[in-house]
Amino acid sequence: MSIAKIQKSIFNGEVTVPASKSVAHRALICSFLAGGGNVEPIISSKDMAATVGIINSLKKGENTLNSIESGSTLRFMIPVAAALGKEVTFVGQGSLLSRPIGEYLTLLPLHGTQIKSNGYLPATISGKLRNGSFEVNGNVSSQYITGLLLALAALDGDSAVILKTELQSKPYVDMTIKVMKDYGVDIRETDFGYLVKGGQKFKVQDYVVEGDWSQAAFFLVGGAINGEVTVKGLDINSTQGDKAIVDVIKRFGADVKIDDKSVTVKKSELHGIELDATDIPDMVPAIAVLAANASGKTVIKGAERLRYKESDRIESVVYNLKALGADVEETSDGMIIYGGKKLHSAKLKGYNDHRIVMAFSVAAMNIGDCEIDDAQSINKSYPLFFDDFNNLGGNADVL
């Protein structure tokens, strides 16, 4: 376990964020199903290593597929491997061992694929997936929908994904459809869900991955509470749902300037807001830090799925905010933050959760003399986070 010691400092400068992890996962799988083509740039992270590793294992005919700690990799690749008729066992480690795959346990056996699992890893699948109508809950995880769309497009016959409940985190599914369209595969949205035509071919091509809005959020929030930051390498027209962080920061009252490939945020007077985080749950840790530095009350709701991430992120955020002296109440699906209270130094918990570590590193720089444990967890998605943090003017020493 490593510890990051954060001293009081001010962000002032430019940073180019890494390529989007979410887009890269999807493009790598599309490229695999196409049978060739390059996908770049790809950030060197544990999550990317998981997807690349499973694709390589499938190419080699290996029977054990290691998802490491990537929930996206696991939920995307189970139906893809089933569509290819593979008999394989999915394994993982760390927090992934407690993340469920229950939707597939009942759904895939109805369409030719058997799964041996207790609802968690390890999970062994066998039997080729058949096309048809797939009824799935839309409020559990959009990753199940993405996995099905990728897999069903590789089958010969037509299929339908029927949503039994309202789809949450829809922007992530929109991103999947956009990447698949880039690879020549058409998914049609309907009143009931999605229609996938059979017999489509993924085209071989070289794919350029755009910048990651979810990682940009931490630095944009840092600029809003302490200094001025320009984040480069972003596509303003991106389908990434997390680009909504710009609108959220604006609602708080931050000074925001946008051009074609960058966003600049400058410190200004901030005020609390009410936010439904249903479509942007991963942004909640960063937004909560912003709220603690704003005057007035911020209500965050619609984030109940955060309880099933790398940590219970609602609990993790509330604990750390309280440790810093913030006035915050935990709710079943989010939190209420009463901003304006003077924050103080503290020893913070990273919960082995990359987004918690990054969010509270930004919070700590506005206070100074803070420590946060499990700093190594950034390797899951953004190994160079502290390098970029310090290059912007932050003062983090990772021990």
pTM above 0.85, yes or no: yes
Q: What is the pLDDT along the chain (399 residues), one digit of tens a residue?
A: 899 999 999 999 999 999 999 999 999 999 999 999 999 999 999 999 999 999 999 999 999 999 999 999 999 999 999 999 999 999 999 999 999 999 999 999 999 999 999 999 999 999 999 999 999 999 999 999 999 999 999 999 999 999 999 999 999 999 999 999 999 999 999 999 999 999 999 999 999 999 999 999 999 999 999 999 999 999 999 999 999 999 999 999 999 999 988 999 999 999 999 999 999 999 999 999 999 999 999 999 999 999 989 999 999 999 999 999 999 999 999 999 999 899 999 999 999 999 999 999 999 999 999 999 999 999 999 999 999 999 999 999 999
Helices (H), the chain: 21-34, 46-60, 71-83, 102-107, 142-152, 170-182, 213-225, 245-252, 284-292, 313-323, 354-365, 385-391
Q: Name the residue range of residue 366's domain.
A: 3-18+211-398
Query: In terms of domains, do 151 and 223 share one?
Result: no
How many distinct structural domains can be found in the chain? 2
Query: In terms of domains, do 78 and 109 share one?
Result: yes
Query: In terms of domains, do 39 and 61 share one?
Result: yes
The domain boundary residue, chosen from 157, 182, 208: 208
Q: Is 5 helix (H, G, I), strand (E, B) or coil?
A: strand
Query: In terms of domains, do 199 and 52 share one?
Result: yes
Query: In terms of domains, do 182 and 233 share one?
Result: no
Radius of gyration of the chain (CA): 21
Query: In terms of domains, do 196 and 234 share one?
Result: no
Measured CA to CA in angstroms, residue 125 lies from 30, 113, 143, 190 at distances of 21, 7, 18, 30
The enclosing domain of 13 has a CATH number of 3.65.10.10
Query: In terms of domains, do 272 and 380 share one?
Result: yes
Q: Is the peptide bond before 79 cis (omega within 30 degrees of 0)?
A: no
Query: In terms of domains, do 218 and 259 share one?
Result: yes
Alpha-carbon span 182 to 204, nearest angstrom: 10
Query: In terms of domains, do 132 and 269 share one?
Result: no
Alpha-carbon span 159 to 165, nearest angstrom: 19
Query: In terms of domains, do 378 and 246 share one?
Result: yes
The residue from 212, 282, 374, 388 that is catalytic is: 282
Query: In terms of domains, do 215 and 323 share one?
Result: yes
Q: Is 397 a catalytic residue?
A: no
The domain boundary residue, chosen from 208, 241, 265: 208
Query: In terms of domains, do 180 and 221 share one?
Result: no
Place of tokens 């058997």: 114
The domain boundary residue, chosen from 144, 173, 208: 208
Give the DSSP per-residue string, 71-105.
HHHHHHHHHHHHHTT--EEEE--GGGGGS--HHHH
